[in-house]
């Protein structure tokens, strides 16, 4: 049985009106240094987003969300940031910003399978 190692994760939130503090969870980013893993899963329920946030541009949000897993995977398609080490990409993706997609504070946990943990967190926090 593999050893349990620490991981860090953040929830990605759709927050079109930051000043109101209202949001829906739309993704999870997970980084585990010991397992050399950085991954993300995202999903936007467009109907729910429109119901809660009226004029939100669902297509634009979906496009932005698709970039998060791409940056986690890295490579040439991910641009300059995709060439950075995993920890740098995680820190960049989870840094506070003033857009409608907001990362939660970073949380930690223990896992022996980072990919399975990402799937579990996504199911609990987003789906």
CA atoms of 83 and 79, how far apart (whole Å): 7
* pLDDT, position 54: 84
* pLDDT, position 1: 54
pLDDT tens-digit map of 31-69: 999 999 999 999 999 988 888 888 888 999 999 999 999
* pLDDT, position 80: 87
């Amino acid at each position: 049985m593999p050893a349990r190692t620490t991981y860090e994760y953040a929830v990605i939130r759709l927050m079109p009106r930051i000043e109101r503090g209202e949001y829906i969870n739309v993704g999870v980013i997970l980084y585990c240094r010991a397992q050399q893993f950085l991954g993300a899963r995202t999903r936007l329920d467009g109907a729910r987003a429109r119901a809660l946030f009226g004029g939100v541009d669902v297509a634009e949000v979906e496009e932005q969300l698709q970039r998060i897993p791409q940056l986690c995977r890295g490579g040439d398609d991910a641009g300059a940031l995709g060439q950075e080490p995993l920890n740098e990409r995680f820190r960049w993706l989870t840094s506070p910003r003033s857009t409608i997609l907001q990362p939660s504070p970073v949380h930690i946990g223990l896992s022996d399978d980072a990919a399975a943990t990402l799937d579990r967190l996504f199911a609990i926090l987003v789906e």
